[in-house]
Structure 1
Amino acid sequence: MKETTPAETAAPKPTRARNRRGEGNRLRDDIVSAATELLDETGDERAITLRSVARRVGIAAPSIYPHFPDQPAIMLAVVQGEFAELGRELRICAEQAGDDPRDRLFAICEGYLRYAREHPERYRTMFGGLWMPSLGDSSVTEADLADLGLDTMELLIGALSECVATGQSTSADPGGDAIALWLGLHGLAHQRAVTRVHFWPPDTGDRIIASLAHLTAT
């Protein structure tokens, strides 16, 4: 007998009203939102199945197929949406920091760490939690995965390049150093998520940013 997950046995939402003409994309958005909600509630990508998502939306599972051919395609849409949201939040952080390149870089990095702290389940999934689709057995392609987070990385590279241009960083390779900086931030975000007792200094994030971005003394 097939074992069901808590998400699949939960009471379904009332039957969803049919979309009006011109609202076909609304169901797709509802499916992605439902999958994201399940991820937040369960913390487990395995709880996101066609059946559990359909029950959450209030539709029959076959109604998903015109929008998503399989579960990995739904997960890809969730992850793509979260990377887009992360990019939006980081751009806002940069804009609110003002014109100083150093302040903008710190704002982007701090916004990144804040996003990871406030959305731990989504963040873990974005960077390869249990969601690791088999490319030969799903609708997800290698190109789909290669593009994830590209705009966020470009934002980080741009901020570091501005610091170099204004003499606030001695980096000779902003692209490579931006990747190293991201790896440092990602490592700190991960440790904050899995370590209950933090033994590192409170300014560890600032040290990582200043060191890996080769920032000059103020």
Structure 2
Amino acid sequence: MSGAAGQRAGNRRGRGDLLRGEILAAATALLDSRGDPRAVTLRAVARGAGIAASSIYPHFPDQSSIVLAVVRQAFAELSDRLRSAADEAGDDPRRRLHALCLAYLDFASTHPERYRTMFGRPRPPAADGRPSPDDPADLGAGTIRLVVDGLTACVAAGCCTSDDPAADAVALWVGLHGLAHQRTVATAFPWPADITRRVAVPLSHLV
């Protein structure tokens, strides 16, 4: 093996996407194990991926760009999980919405450190004062859209009295987000078995 001990050979030409994925995997593992995005340093990520730190720069210019990529990937995974859970629930819109809520909470409990980072401090606004496109509110737009679609389907089926699914989807997300946070910090609390339904039903205006 050439190079420093413990470092693997570089990717062949055209394999840059593979190396980028390995860097992201190492960064995600660091975040999950350390619980602090500040632990995701270039040196630590390089060590986890088995590469030289200089090999990171063609893919990520700095530490913050790596963390942002991890967050983007986490939001994409969350949306995929919600979509899959709803599809597996069948055609009944109430069941689909409930499955979506359960999947959201499961993601938060399975990846608590990742979840906290996803909704951490927003990035500074642009020079013109507009919000950064990398703010959680923007990165999570796909997730909110799935909730809006779920509520809209319930309205169409006559099992939801919402007259503004977009606004009520935000309210439902706030409820789920609060429950996810409390479950993380109050692990010993005797949560009711049906707490998800108790939160989701009134916020969704289900009948």
| TM-score normalised per structure 1 | 0.86
**Is 1:179 aligned to 2:155, yes or no?**
no
Q: Which sits farther off after the overlay, 167-176 or 62-71?
A: 62-71
Q: Which sits farther off after the overlay, 196-205 or 27-36?
A: 196-205
Taking the aligned partners of 1:132 and 1:40, their CA distance within structure 2 comes to: 20
Q: Residues 13 and 152 of structure 1: is their aligned pair in 2 closer, same or farther, counting only changes over 3 Å? A: farther
Correspondence for 1:197: 188
Counterpart contact for 2:123–2:134, Cα < 8 Å: no
Flag as ranges the 4+ runs of structure 1 deviating above 3 A.
Answer: 131-136
Tell me how far 1:177 sits from its aligned partner: 0.1
Taking the aligned partners of 1:154 and 1:210, their CA distance within structure 2 comes to: 18
Taking the aligned partners of 1:98 and 1:200, their CA distance within structure 2 comes to: 27
**Is 1:104 aligned to 2:102, yes or no?**
no
Select which of 22, 28, 31 maps to 1:30. Answer: 22
Aligned amino acid, residue 100 of structure 2: I
Tell me how far 1:30 sits from its aligned partner: 0.9
Taking the aligned partners of 1:181 and 1:97, their CA distance within structure 2 comes to: 19
**Is 1:207 aligned to 2:185, yes or no?**
no
Taking the aligned partners of 1:54 and 1:114, their CA distance within structure 2 comes to: 30
2:184 counterpart SS class: helix
Correspondence for 2:45: 53
Counterpart contact for 1:13–1:55, Cα < 8 Å: no
Taking the aligned partners of 1:69 and 1:132, their CA distance within structure 2 comes to: 20
Tell me how far 1:204 sits from its aligned partner: 1.9
Q: What is the aligned residue count?
A: 199
Counterpart contact for 2:27–2:66, Cα < 8 Å: yes
Select which of 143, 161, 166 maps to 2:157. Answer: 166
Correspondence for 1:9: none
Gaps of 5+ in 2: none
CA RMSD of aligned residues (A): 1.8
Question: Taking every aligned residue pair, what percent have the same amino acid on both sides?
Answer: 56
Aligned amino acid, residue 163 of structure 1: C
Correspondence for 1:114: 106
Tell me how far 1:202 sits from its aligned partner: 2.6
Correspondence for 2:133: 143
Tell me how far 1:200 sits from its aligned partner: 4.4
Q: Residues 164 and 18 of structure 1: is their aligned pair in 2 closer, same or farther, counting only changes over 3 Å? A: same
Tell me how far 1:100 sits from its aligned partner: 0.5
Taking the aligned partners of 2:183 and 2:5, their CA distance within structure 1 comes to: 35
| TM-score normalised per structure 2 | 0.90
Question: Deviations for 1:86-120, whole angstroms, at most 9, x for unmatched residues?
Answer: 11111110110000001100000011011111111
Tell me how far 1:20 sits from its aligned partner: 1.4
**Is 1:124 aligned to 2:116, yes or no?**
yes
Q: Residues 13 and 36 of structure 1: is their aligned pair in 2 closer, same or farther, counting only changes over 3 Å? A: farther
Gaps of 5+ in 1: 1-11
